[in-house]
Amino acid sequence: MADTPDKKPWLVRMHYRMRTVAFAMMFVASALHSTGKSYSPGLWLLLVLLFLVYPHLQYYRACRAPDPLNAEMHNLLTDSVLLGMAVAALGFPLWITFSAFLGTVSNNTANMNWRGAGKTLLAFPAGALAGCSVFGFNLSTETGWPATLFCIVGLTGYLVAMGNISYSRIRRLRLTREALMLREAELMDVNQALHRNFQEIDVLHNQLREQANRDALTGLFNRRYLDSTLDRELARCKRDGQPLTLIMIDIDHFKQVNDTYGHQAGDEILLRLGTLLAGMARAGDVACRYGGEEFLLLMPTMPLDAAVVRAGELRTTFGEMVVPFGEFRLKATLSIGVSAYPGHGVSAEELIRHADKALYRAKHGGRNRVEIWIPKAEASDAQ
């Protein structure tokens, strides 16, 4: 559980409880050890201040520090120094010294890894030397049975408590990790769902874009797509020094088909022509329904003479085609106009206009034919 802003870090509060109990037990052990000995008032004052007052002062200091955790790490080293001083003042009683050293070195190692153990090995003897300089060197290692038993029980309880705290911390970390793994799995599921949704959106977007660029009846590209493509293809052919050809197509007497057999019959003819154009178009060609019964085939890199041959094949194939419609068998012919870059224009508007004029000549020249835009012929027709 995370520490809330109005609470001190969990480690500081835990150390305060452990320090208060452990130091109180050291005071009791020292009192038991004093049986039969005459401690001076100054020594008793030191023991009271160290074991009963000091833990509260350290907690207050850590709580008021800008960085409580860093302050608590310094408190642990201060514990080692003061405990070394205390055991030196008591004459280094064996079990009290052993308990104080083992408690502080294990606590520092648990909080600062091996560096904590190394610092304790320096801090504890430093405190002992300081104690000897103040109280004199007095080596009296014998510990009475009451103090010995109390130290054994107290040290055991302290180490068990530290083990339980370590277990609690490990368990909390494990639960936190499991919760994070669960959240990570949930996030991955959400991410995969979002990815699928984006893919579906992309598919729908492409479908909508395709539908916006396609004629609903024939499935060919529409005039909107042609307008956005012709300029780009023409610029590419200019850059690469390649030709480009436009074939403008119109179904002869289409209005008569609609008037005689109905618009559904006309739609059937449009569908057949659309299918034929789509089948004849190369990979880079653009076959589109230009409007009504007019179609246009854009052929980048196609020379004029080859395009005229292709237009003738289209006219012949469509003219031989029979379109079933109920009990009727419909036939129609095509009039085709051709213009090409670079000979017939250098802009999209010029090429379309000249292909349309060539188509006009084909229709007024008897229909069912292919005409190429020729400037002299247009001038002659105008006269």
Residues 219-260: pLDDT tens digits?
899 998 998 899 999 999 999 999 999 999 999 999 999 999
Q: Which residues of 86-115 are buried (b: 16+ CB within 10 A; e: fewer)?
A: bbbbbbbbebbbbbbbebbbbbbbbebeee
* Residue 294 in this model has a pLDDT that exceeds 60: yes
Does this model's pTM top 0.85? My answer is no
Residue 203 is predicted with a pLDDT of 81
Task: Give ranges for CATH 3.30.70.270 in the chain.
Answer: 223-382
Exactly one of 72, 233, 268, 293 is catalytic; which is it? 293
274-289 pLDDT tens trace: 999 999 999 999 999 9
* Residue 340 in this model has a pLDDT that exceeds 70: yes
| Domain 223-382 superfamily per CATH | Reverse transcriptase/Diguanylate cyclase domain (3.30.70.270)
Among 261, 292, 289, 262, residue whose Cα is nearest residue 275: 289
* Residue 372 in this model has a pLDDT that exceeds 90: yes
Task: Give the pair of three-digit tokens for residue 383.
Answer: 């006269």
Cα(116)–Cα(40) distance, integer angstroms: 34
82-93 pLDDT tens trace: 888 888 888 888
Structural contact between residues 277 and 287, judged by C-beta atoms closer than 8 angstroms:
yes
Mean pLDDT of the 29-49 span: 82
* Residue 378 bears catalytic tag: no
Which range has highest mean pLDDT (17-26, 134-143, 147-156, 299-308)? Answer: 299-308
